[in-house]
Amino acid sequence: MKMLRDVGLLYRRGLIHTLRIPVWVVVGISTPLLYLALFTPLLQNLAGAPGFPPTDVLDLFLPGILALMAFGSGTGAGFAIIFEIQAGFTERLQVSPASRFALLMGPVLSSLTWTYIFTIMIVAVAIPFGFHLHLAGMLVSLVLLGLLLMVFASFSIALALITKEISSLAAIMNGINLPVLLLSGVLLPLSLAPTWMRAIAHMNPMYYVVEANRILATGTIYDAKVGEAFLIMVPLTVVVMAWATRVYRRAVS
Amino acid sequence: MKNVVTTTELRKSFKSKKGVVEAVRGVELHVGEGEIFGFLGPNGAGKTTTLRMLATLLPIESGEAMVAGFDVKKQPHEVRRRVGYVSQAGGGDRLSTGREDLILQGQLYGMSTTDANARADELIDDLDLGEFAGRRVVTYSGGQRRRLDVGLGIMHRPDVLFLDEPTTGLDPQNRANLWELIRQLSGSGTSIFLTTHYLDEADVLSNRLAIMDHGLIVAEGTSRELKQEIAADSVVVSLKSDEGCSGATELLRQESYVSHITTEADHLRLYVDDGVAALPKLLRLLDGNGIGVRTITLSEPTLDDVFLRHTGRSLHKAGMNQRNGDSE
């Protein structure tokens, strides 16, 4: 089928292009490592404070870092598209009979692949430092992280197509970044937060992924919070991807 | 001759802060099979907007367009398969090599990998890309990039190739090379529709052309037909003193052999039926009235004269007074 072939062609192109800018690979892996090295020690001293969940610090913190990585790769996906728009590449694809869904899915899947590779590397690094790996839980976690990435990558790419220039996209993405991060409990669990803040956090898709990830990291899979995360993320992914495909389809002016 | 592009009453307007801008206001044109059709006009005339509608990149607001035998509004997908489009930006994939990019292009147009490889090799030969096809596009010079852009545009052997300002920014050598390439393509049966704001390009390269200004086509035909329509030679007179200009205009307007006069800064432009006969009469008349002539030149009509006649402005000046940039 033409659409699947187009997805494959653009997916392969995306993978190769990332390799051709090795800086991205370096940053992709060093950022989470820095969090682990420079943030975890602070948490060690907080453990045992009131409201802090009674688990090992890394078991609590790593699931958040993994969500952060997926979120970061997702929001970053639009920036490459801006350069492609400016080089006329996007228009060249739009004037071709290539499937519009493939135009979106190619870069999204290649970003997903790289993020999975980094994720597995980070988890492997964290194990000797005290992270307890529960394989089944981690696999379910990876699915949720994938959905999270697809939502934000599609969103970011659609915004790139609409704004067409880097400063607007950067401003919007920065504006979204901070509230999404602070209201997701990535760095510190929201069990420490006042009730009103937890109430707002329920508007944030990332919050559900982080919460579910923490549970999955303990090895528990059949949990209401995990179910809730899927119930929210699956339809959200479908809606955002459908919208982004439409933005590709609607000819740019 | 069969037409590969036909439009009727094509329109497009954009909303801007200042209100609605009517970029294309009822364009009617046709491009014959195998023709090089030039679309001449200043920046902002609506050329690119028209081209983008025909190439399925912009929705058509009203009017009809048939391209390569299909209705652009109803069957954009069929049009896409039969059309090549090279935008002003080009479209080469910066991090790929030229060869990889050609192959990807072929595959996206539905070629098998084997066919795409063979076709890429063929184009690398034909367009003389061999020297740089193995390098990444980001390292190419302007001329090299343009050659690749054209290659990408014809990779799938389209019936019609749209070229938007193909030679803008190229040095004379590369420009001449590209013209040669376009002629070759046309010779091998591809119909070509190109926009340009260069008079000489429209004049020398195209078999037929349309002149566009403010969203409308003001003239259409072969270069020779358009010039003959003016049916006059042009004489440019520059005077020793600027004050003489208005007096000279008044004086010359009364002469029966002068069909049209325009005043531009420090010189007059007259259209006369027969330049050779008129020249001595002009000189005698001006001299007899004490108006000193610095230079006088006689020329056969150019496309700029055609443009001037239809729009009241010279193309060079029109370009400067339009909106900035090439985004029409």
Model confidence pLDDT, tens digit, residues B35-46: 999 999 888 889
Rounded Cα gap, residues A237 and A223, in angstroms: 21
Domain boundaries, chain B: 3-227, 233-300
Report pLDDT for B326: 40
Q: What is the C-alpha to C-alpha distance for residues A249 and B309, in angstroms, rounded to an integer?
A: 42
Interatomic CA distance for residues B134 and B123, integer angstroms? 13
Percent share of chain A, pLDDT over 90? 76
Tokens of A129: 């430092």
Triad B142, B143, B147: Cα angle to 5°: 120
pLDDT of residue A253: 40
The CA radius of gyration of chain B, in Å to the nearest whole number, is 23
Q: How far apart, in whole angstroms, are the C-alpha atoms of residue B328 and residue A113?
A: 39
pLDDT over 80 (residue A252): no
Query: pLDDT tens digit string along B237-260?
Result: 888 877 677 778 888 888 888 888
Average pLDDT value for residue range B194-208: 90
The interface predicted TM-score of the complex, written ipTM, equals 0.91
Find out whether A206 and A71 touch, Cβ atoms under 8 Å: yes
Q: Is B218 a residue whose pLDDT tops 80?
A: yes
- Mark yes or no for CB contact B107/A5 under 8 Å: yes
A212, A225 Cβ separation under 8 angstroms: yes
Chain A nearest CA to B66, separation (Å)? 16
The larger pLDDT score, comparing residue B234 to residue A98, is at A98
Q: Please, what is the average pLDDT of chain A?
A: 91
Name which of B95, B146, B165 to mutate to probe chain A: the one with the most chain A Cβ atoms within 10 A of its Cβ. Answer: B95
CA atoms within 13 A on the CB side of B296: 17
Instruction: Using CA atoms of A90, A96, A100, A104 in order, give the dihedral in degrees to the nearest 10.
Output: -30
Per-residue pLDDT, B315: 78
Q: What is the pLDDT of residue A251?
A: 53
Of the CA atoms within 13 Å of residue A99, those in its CB half-sphere come to 16
Characterize the bridge pairing of strands B160-164 and B83-86.
parallel
Residue of chain B whose alpha carbon sits nearest to that of A1: B110
Could A92 and B152 be called an inter-chain contact, meaning their C-beta atoms sit closer than 8 Å? Answer: yes
The verdict on a CB contact (< 8 Å) between A92 and B85 is yes
How far A87 CA sits from the closest chain B CA (Å)? 5
| Candidates 3.40.50.150, 3.30.380.10, 3.30.70.100, 3.40.630.30; CATH matching B233-300 | 3.30.70.100
- A94 vs A103: CA distance, rounded Å: 8
Of B56, B93, B104, the CB nearest to A95: B56
Pick from A5, A91, A97: CB nearest B57:
A91
A11, A34, A77 from A29: Cα distances, Å: 21, 9, 16
Task: Read off the pLDDT of residues B110-147 as tens digits, 9 standing for 90 and up.
Answer: 999 999 999 999 999 999 999 999 999 999 999 999 99
Region A211-228 average pLDDT: 94
Say yes or no to pLDDT of B63 above 80: yes
B310 to chain A, closest Cα gap in Å: 30
Test mutation, B13, B79, B93, B136, chain A, max A CBs within 10 A: B93
- pLDDT mean over A81-94: 94
Cβ contact, residue pair A17, B95, below 8 Å: yes
Residue A76 makes CB contacts below 8 A (sequence gap 6+) with: A111, A156
- A72 to A27, A106, A244: CA distances (angstroms): 11, 18, 18
Q: Do A251 and B59 touch (CB under 8 A)?
A: yes
Q: What is the pLDDT of residue B319?
A: 57
Q: Do B104 and A2 touch (CB under 8 A)?
A: no
Residue A208 scores a pLDDT above 90: yes
Tell me the residue type at A231.
L
pLDDT of residue B232: 76
CB contacts < 8 A (A, B): 73
Number of helices and strands (H, E) in chain A? 10, 0
State the smallest CA–CA distance between residue A161 and chain B in angstroms. 14
Count Cβ atoms below 10 Å from residue B163 Cβ, excluding itself: 27
CATH tag for B3-227 (out of 3.90.1300.10, 3.30.470.30, 1.20.1740.10, 3.40.50.300): 3.40.50.300
Nearest chain A Cα to B55, which residue?
A95
Lowest mean pLDDT among B22-31, B86-95, B198-207, B228-237: B228-237
With beta carbons under 8 A apart, name residues in chain B contacting A95. Answer: 55-57, 80, 83, 85
Q: How confident is the model at residue A10 (pLDDT cuts 50, 70, 90)?
A: very high
User: Which chain A residue has its CA at the smallest distance from B110's CA?
Assistant: A2
Looking only at the bridges linking them, the beta strands covering B62-67 and B3-16 are: antiparallel
Q: Kindly tell me if the per-residue pLDDT of A26 is higher than 60.
A: yes
| pLDDT tops 80 at residue A137 | yes
Q: Among A218-232, B13-27, B152-166, where is mean pLDDT lowest?
A: B13-27
Question: Phi and psi of B13, rounded to 5°?
Answer: -130, 155
Q: In this predicted model, which residue has the larger pLDDT, A138 or A48?
A: A138
The helix/strand/coil state of B208 is strand
Query: pLDDT tens across B290-302, in order?
Result: 888 888 888 888 8
pLDDT value at A102 more than 90: yes
Taking each helix axis from N to C terminus, what angle separates A100-126 and A2-20, rounded to the nearest 10 degrees?
50
